[in-house]
């Protein structure tokens, strides 16, 4: 499977989970959804973003697809930076921060691999 297609489908799945069950998404990253009732609001906003980027990228072609992959990589890079900041400030458990960073950097890597592959 093309890395961009896989990344796009992964974004859509993560987005659906984030919207349908913010507490499940939080648990997967070791976050305390019960202790932070506002988390559902932000998880759903995150989910909508992921579905939009994933869906648009999945169906785009040519330069539009490349631009969307680059935009997604920028967003994922920002997510990784957010994880680093949260880790430094001890705002989330170490596991949570590392998981966020690894997933985000993996998405950046998938985007980069997809840009280098023949579609």
Q: Cβ of 29: how many Cβ atoms within 10 Å?
A: 18
pLDDT for the residue 84: 97
Q: Which two tokens stand for residue 103?
A: 């997933």
Q: Which two tokens stand for residue 31?
A: 């976050």
pLDDT for the residue 119: 55
How many folded domains does the chain comprise? 1
- Using DSSP's 3-state secondary structure scheme, residue 6 falls into helix
Task: Print the domain residue range for 64.
Answer: 3-116
| Nearby residues of 117 by Cβ (< 8 Å), 6 or more positions away | 2, 3, 4
What is the distance between the alpha carbons of residues 27 and 101, in angstroms, rounded to a whole number?
16
Q: How confident is the prediction along the chain (119 residues), in pLDDT tens digits per residue?
A: 889 999 999 999 999 999 999 988 888 888 888 888 888 898 999 999 999 999 999 999 999 999 999 999 999 999 999 999 999 999 999 999 999 999 999 999 999 999 987 65
Residue 47 carries which DSSP code?
A: H
pLDDT for the residue 27: 84
**pTM for this model (two decimals):** 0.87
């Amino acid at each position: 499977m093309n890395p961009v297609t896989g990344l796009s489908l992964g974004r859509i799945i993560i987005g659906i989970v984030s919207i349908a069950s913010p507490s499940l998404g939080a648990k997967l990253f070791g976050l305390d959804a019960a202790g932070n009732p506002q988390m559902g609001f932000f998880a759903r906003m995150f989910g909508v973003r992921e579905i939009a980027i994933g869906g648009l990228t999945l169906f785009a072609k040519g330069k539009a697809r490349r631009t969307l992959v680059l935009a997604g990589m920028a967003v994922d890079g920002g997510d990784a930076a957010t994880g680093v900041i949260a880790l430094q400030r001890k705002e989330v458990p170490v596991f949570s921060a590392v998981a966020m960073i690894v997933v985000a950097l993996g998405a950046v890597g998938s985007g980069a691999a997809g840009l280098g592959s023949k579609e």
